[in-house]
Amino acid sequence: MWHTVKGTLVIKANGHNYREAVCTAAELLRQGKLVAFPTETVYGLGASALDEEALKKVFRAKGRPMDNPFIIHICHLDQLQELTTDLPDDALRLAADFWPGPLTLVCRRSSRVPLVATAGLQTVAVRMPDHSLTLDLLQKCRLPLVGPSANLSGRPSPTTAHHVLQDLAGRISAVLDGGPCPVGLESTVLDLTTAAPRILRPGAVTREQLARALGKEIEEAASWERNKTGIPPSPGLKYRHYAPKTALCLVEGEPRAVEEKLKQLCLQKKEEGMKLGLLLSKETAPSFRGCYIKALGSRSQPRELAQNLYTALRELDEQNLDFILAEGYQGEGVVLALMNRLRKAAAEIIKA
């Protein structure tokens, strides 16, 4: 009923096949196999969070450094209690307000969580995804599942089953295909083990929303990223992520200045004989021609920009370009998450 790509089973969860799809994926996971699954943010590479051998396979399949811990996905609040100790009130408050949803909470680890999952840390990252298929899968397999983004380490995160197969076909048992991911950027990671809650990775749940829910200031780990001295607050921060193979230059600043700078760089690169790709908003795109242009969406719809980012980066990468120029955006909320990913993808950042 389902086809395979290089030995990886592609389990389409639609219509009358839905129940069977969920059961098949759950059974493979219970056997300690690796199955990629969709969430509202990006596809995750699923494995039992309680099975050390399965966890080691996840590191190998992704080519992930062993010191980068996993997020554990759950479908019941009871599981948060089981996986953690000394759970702060803030965690329950945020879970009540934002779960299921794109928010990951870092809390103290309970002894039930294998150290392989937390990369030796005494803290554990947990989230309840807001996607009915993921929640059905978690219910069915009755296991907490790790779910690092289902890409090869260093590649853009996958937002479709096709992206997962581009990177991991032949390296994992199956992918559960639930269509494209609606958010398109990874969850907000919030550390609740420090004196003040601290955002380790910005996402669709914003700092303002978190501050309002808790009635207190929320810190950001961004300052560590600027200086890169001492121990990183999250192991993931020290790796260059989301990088396309083609060198990408990000131009930041006020929209008019960005457009002018992009025009100037575009001419310059063309004169150097480069095959150029442009990653632009719908508003800016009409001012350019003669290069490979990818329009992300409207500047007035930041969620649309976010949703399309990783697909666009993968598409640009397939064009055998010499260079990619990307438009930067100004704003709050999800724009900050979008700009965080664009900066990580960039080989060079220019202020217009």
Positions that interact with Mg ion (CB under 5 A): 149
**Start-to-end C-alpha separation, the chain:** 53
3-state helix, strand, coil in the chain (%, to 5): 35, 20, 45
Least Å distance, CB 195 to ligand TXA, is 16
Task: Figure out which of the listed residues 75, 124, 168, 190 binds ligand TXA, where binding follows CB under 6 A.
Answer: 124
Minimum Å distance from CB 298 to ligand TXA? 24
Which residues, numbered 163-192, are part of the site for ligand TXA (CB under 6 A)?
186-187, 189
Question: Would you say 70 or 98 has its CB closer to ligand TXA?
Answer: 70
- Report the residue from 70, 98, 99, 242 that binds ligand TXA according to the rule CB under 6 A: 70
Strand partners, 125: 71, 106
Residue 224 or residue 329: which is nearer to ligand TXA going by CB?
Answer: 224
Q: What SS3 class is residue 296?
A: coil
Q: Toward ligand TXA, which CB reaches closer, 202 or 328?
A: 202
Residue nearest to ligand TXA (CB): 236
Return the ∠ at Cα 296 (arms to 168 and 293), rounded to 5°: 95
CB of 229 vs ligand TXA, minimal distance in Å: 18
Residue 202 near ligand TXA by CB under 6 A: no
State residue 49 phi and psi, 5-degree precision. Answer: -75, -10
Q: How many other CB atoms are found less than 10 A from the CB of residue 209? A: 17
Binds ligand TXA (CB under 6 A): choice among 44, 156, 202, 302: 44
β pairing state of 219-220 and 248-252? unpaired
Stretch that binds ligand TXA, among 118-126, 252-260, 275-283, 303-311 (CB under 6 A): 118-126
Q: How far is the CB of 20 from Mg ion (least distance, A)?
A: 29
**Distance (Å, rounded) from C-alpha 240 to C-alpha 319?**
22
CB 217, min distance to Mg ion, A: 27
What is the Cα–Cα distance from 280 to 293, expressed in whole angstroms? 7
Binding-site member from 41, 48, 159, 307 for ligand TXA (CB under 6 A): 41
Task: Give least dist CB 138 to Mg ion, A.
Answer: 19
Q: Can you tell me the distance from the alpha carbon of 135 to that of 73, in angstroms, rounded to the nearest whole number?
A: 9
Question: What would the two tokens of residue 33 be?
Answer: 């196999």
Task: Give the shortest CB-221-to-ligand TXA separation in angstroms.
Answer: 9
Decide: is 159 part of the binding site for ligand TXA (CB under 6 A): no
Tokens of 269: 């690169």
Beta strand 292-295 pairing with 276-280: parallel
Of 8, 79, 104, 166, which lies in the binding site for ligand TXA, with binding defined by CB under 6 A?
104
Pick what 173 binds: Mg ion, ligand TXA, none; C-beta below 5 to 8 Å, kind-dependent.
none
Q: Is 236 in the site for ligand TXA (CB under 6 A)?
A: yes
Cα 59 from Cα 103, distance rounded (Å): 23
* 133-135-45 Cα angle (round to 5): 75
What whole-number distance in Å separates Cα of residue 280 and Cα of residue 288? 10
| Spatial contact of 8 and 175, defined as CB atoms under 8 Å apart | yes
- Using rule CB under 6 A, residue 158 touches ligand TXA: no
Contacts to ligand TXA by CB under 6 A: 39, 41-42, 44, 68-71, 102, 104, 106, 118, 121, 123-125, 129, 147-149, 186-187, 189, 200-201, 234-236
